[in-house]
Amino acid sequence: MLQVQFIRQHKEEVLERLALKQFKELHLIDEILALDDSRRKLTVEYDETKAQANTLSKEIGKLMSQGQKEEAEARKSSVSELNARLHPIDEQLKATELQLNELLVKVPNLPSPLVPPGKNPEDNVEVRSGGSIPTLPEGAVPHWDLAKKYDLIDFELGNKLTGSGFPVYKNKGARLQRALVSYFLDFNIERGYHEMNVPHLVNEDSAYGTGQLPDKEGQMYHVTEDKFYLIPTSEVPLTNFYRDTIVKDTDLPIKLTAYTPCFRREAGSYGKDVRGLNRLHQFEKVELVQLVNPAKSYEVLDEMVEHVEALVQSLGLPYRILRLCGGDMSFTSALTYDFEVYSAAQERWLEVSSVSNFESYQANRLKARFKEAGGKAQLLHTLNGSSLALPRIVACLLENNQTADGIHIPEVLKPYMGIDKIS
């Protein structure tokens, strides 16, 4: 959530940067400032009225001690009138603050100056790429056919149990999932991240804190009776560890990693892009989260991009890194890098990770702050990245490593799988 003071001091810059993000409701900025004007006036009126009442109350005791009962009673009457005025002012102030907050949460985060202009994915900028696209053997097939051939994934059984987008991993397919999760976590832990095991459902405050609520696109699964939400990523519980918390500057950076299932409705998804593992409603992911000093957040972002790049490289997959344009960014992000790996059998790029800096946008909603010795509490910067989302990684590993005699296992996964190939 943006800070009103920043909007007031940098209105034209805010409008310009929101336009880069293709935000259409720029009128909200004037409405926010008008409401803030009203809030300020009401605050002054409340404080002045309260001060008058307090001053008169102090005088009452003095007058009574001096035997000036009539004057004291007059002061009591005035205090009663002032207190009666306070209640409606306070109610109006609360209503105004509520309206102001409701408008603020409709405004996305400002894109960083590093964000390229553009309206859609075609306008994203390739930063770099790596790896070699493999030449597949004659008769190579996409992962959904490989999954059936080697009895790795049962899409029909998942559809029977729940519905489309909830596959069942079987035998060596389930083993591959477990191997990837273990490898990803070990990779992250070796680089200084602390492993956490977190709830898969969160309350409204947690979903609000990281920007999932209000749910603008209807992508969250909601347990209505308990008002819980199934997490779309472990970013939500991990970042909320520090909601309403002030940490010491010496405790930074805070580096967390977790494996969880992720749940997304993916409303409106259809066509070839959703076949097989390309787009699911439930999938597994290992996540990275950092909370850092604002002065270091873009340095940390670069480090996280390099971290995920090294992880993708270790799997031997061809990849490219894209800096997202303004129109393709998430609501809460200030700058995002997407990682895509090449699916050789489908002959297309598949997104497997997003690494983002949210600057203080989430921290302001969370009231997540840090304090230097002798200084004032300041908002943290939050960052997160996938390391990695499993479905499309599995799809590409199966497709790109298929041979006439089976599917070869990448070297880094062999200790976790205990086999050299799937056959």
Distance CA 237, CA 243 (A): 10
Residue 264 annotated as binding site: yes
* Cα maximum dimension of the chain: 108
Q: Which residues contact 338 (CB under 8 A, 6 or more apart)?
A: 124, 321, 322, 324, 351, 353, 354
Residue 48 annotated as binding site: no
- 414 vs 158, 301, 418, CA distance in Å? 28, 30, 6
Residue 353 annotated as binding site: yes
Residue 354 annotated as binding site: yes
Bond into 388 cis (ω within 30) = yes
Distance CA 53, CA 395 (A): 71
355 with 301: CB under 8 angstroms? yes
Residue 191 annotated as binding site: no
Residue 384 annotated as binding site: yes
Q: What is the CA radius of gyration of the chain?
A: 27
Residue 348 annotated as binding site: no
DSSP, collapsed to helix, strand or coil, labels residue 323 as strand
- The H or E element containing residue 246 is strand 245-248
Distance CA 230, CA 172 (A): 28
Which residues in 265-412 belong to E strands, given as ranges?
A: 282-292, 319-323, 335-343, 348-357, 368-371, 377-379, 381-389, 402-403, 406-408
- Helices 171-190 and 390-400: angle between axes, nearest 10 degrees: 110
Residue 266 annotated as binding site: yes
Annotated binding residues for ATP: 264-266, 351-354
Annotated binding residues: 233, 264-266, 287, 351-354, 384
Annotated binding residues for L-serine: 233, 264, 287, 384
